[in-house]
């Protein structure tokens, strides 16, 4: 069980790093640490899996390239929503 948790954390970390790199702010002022990057990637996997299953009918439930891409896509969506709420909060 501990190996599954560690595997999901590493998977989430990688997906979160890729999503943060793709959705990088032009100013470079992203104050998200490694723990939030892991949470972003894991939550992105859940969101991406839900969206891909519900809207597209895909059945992705394993560690694979397709699963990684779906996790990155979900993390990008969450990152976009997070930054949208942060921008609305500062204006």
CA 63 to chain centre: 14
For every one of its 91 residues, what pLDDT tens digit does the chain have, with 9 covering 90 and above?
A: 777 777 777 888 888 888 888 887 666 566 778 888 888 888 888 888 888 888 888 777 667 788 888 889 989 999 888 888 877 777 6
Q: What is the pTM of this model?
A: 0.79
Cα 91 from Cα 87, distance rounded (Å) = 6
SS3 42: helix
| pLDDT for 26 | 65
Cα 3 from Cα 22, distance rounded (Å) = 28
């Amino acid at each position: 069980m501990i190996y599954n948790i560690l595997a999901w954390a590493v998977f989430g970390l990688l997906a979160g790093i890729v999503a943060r790199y793709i959705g990088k702010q032009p100013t470079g002022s992203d104050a998200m640490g490694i723990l939030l990057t892991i949470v972003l990637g894991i939550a992105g996997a859940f969101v991406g899996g839900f969206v891909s299953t519900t809207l597209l009918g895909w059945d992705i439930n394993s560690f694979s390239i397709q699963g990684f891409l779906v996790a990155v896509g979900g993390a990008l969506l969450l990152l976009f929503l997070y930054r949208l709420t942060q921008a609305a909060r500062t204006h």
